[in-house]
Each structure stands twice: as structure tokens, then as C-alpha cells.
């Protein structure tokens, strides 16, 4: 089984209080996945799961900050005026988040006190295909896969009460 590297340095993670989970070569848009990861970074686990379920149900929009050309204005996106409902990306990230929660329970950490300290998505491998066209030509039909990484850290008891 391959050992995946993470974009967060190992020194930044305490192995006793942190858990990691990743999805490699996921078939979602890397642009949408990046924006969803940006939105959930810094959230508590329960809050992030509720947010992702609301995005899947199209009740809350994800604020798009970088990839926002031709994106419509959405209510409740904070400082970002543009927003979308990336359902497919939210569904995959929710699955990875539930995997991280299972990792935390396996380690003996309290799921109620977990906070997302690292969430990133970046392009992976390209699936290269070609579509035959008229007069013997061919048009490329490429699909970029996505790597998604999450790292959660257990917060101290008093920090959870203040939040």
C-alpha cells in the first residue's frame, strides 16, 4: 500500500491529538473542491458536517473567492459576493471527513472537540481521452482528478466551551 505525503508538515501535527484523512484521485472538480476546503477550514467537525449537508441540500452556498468568473451572487457568503452549490465536491469531502472522524474514534479522541486545522484540494492525474470527430480528426477530452487532504486536531476542553 502506498504511503501518501501530505502538504502539511509532519512537525506541525502532534500524533497524539491529530488525525488525517485523504481522498486521492477523486473525480470532482479541483476548483470546487478548493473552495469547499477553504470554507470548512477552521470549523469544528460537527459544524463542518452540518455545513456540507446544507450545501448538498442547496440550503447554504459555498463562497467562491478565486474561481468566481460568471458565478452568481449568493446570500450568506460573507465577504465573497459569488457563491455556488458544489454538491459533488461537498459529498466527497463529507465522506473524507467521516473517515477522519472514524480515525479519531479509533485513536480514542473526542469527536465533539475536533477542529479542522488543514483542508486542501489540488489537481491530480489527468485522464486523457480523445473523441473522434468528422473528417478523421480527434478532439481531446481530458478530465483532471483531485487530491483532497484533511487534518483535524482535538481542542482543549476550555477552548470548546468558549467557541
CATH number at residue 59: 3.90.470.10
**Residue 155 domain-assigned?**
yes
pLDDT in tens, 143-155: 999 999 999 999 9
Q: Could you give the percent of the chain with pLDDT greater than 70? A: 96
Domain count, the chain: 1
CA distances from 99 to 12, 18, 126, 161 (A): 21, 13, 25, 25
> What range does the domain containing 56 cover?
16-162
Note the pLDDT of residue 1.
66
**Residue 4 domain-assigned?**
no
The 3-class secondary structure across 102-129, one letter per residue, is: HHHHHHCCCHHHEEEEEEEEEEEEEECC
pLDDT in tens, 90-141: 999 999 999 999 999 999 999 999 999 999 999 999 999 999 999 999 999 9
**Residue 117 domain-assigned?**
yes
**Residue 2 domain-assigned?**
no
Note the pLDDT of residue 116.
97
Amino acid at each position: 500500500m502506498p504511503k501518501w505525503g501530505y502538504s502539511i508538515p509532519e512537525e506541525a501535527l502532534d500524533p497524539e491529538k491529530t488525525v488525517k484523512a485523504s481522498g486521492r484521485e477523486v473525480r470532482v472538480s479541483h476548483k470546487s473542491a478548493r473552495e469547499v476546503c477553504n470554507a470548512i477550514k477552521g470549523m469544528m467537525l460537527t459544524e463542518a458536517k452540518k455545513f456540507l449537508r446544507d450545501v448538498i441540500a442547496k440550503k447554504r452556498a459555498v463562497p467562491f473567492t478565486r474561481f468566481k468568473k460568471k458565478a452568481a451572487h449568493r446570500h450568506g457568503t460573507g465577504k465573497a459576493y459569488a457563491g455556488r452549490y458544489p454538491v459533488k465536491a461537498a459529498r466527497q469531502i463529507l465522506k473524507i471527513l467521516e473517515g477522519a472522524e472514524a480515525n479519531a474514534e479509533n485513536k480514542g479522541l473526542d469527536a465533539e472537540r475536533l477542529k479542522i486545522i488543514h483542508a486542501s484540494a489540488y489537481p491530480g492525474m489527468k485522464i486523457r481521452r480523445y473523441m473522434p470527430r468528422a473528417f478523421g480528426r480527434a478532439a481531446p477530452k481530458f478530465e483532471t482528478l483531485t487530491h483532497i487532504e484533511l487534518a483535524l486536531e482535538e481542542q482543549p476542553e476550555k477552548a470548546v466551551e468558549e467557541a
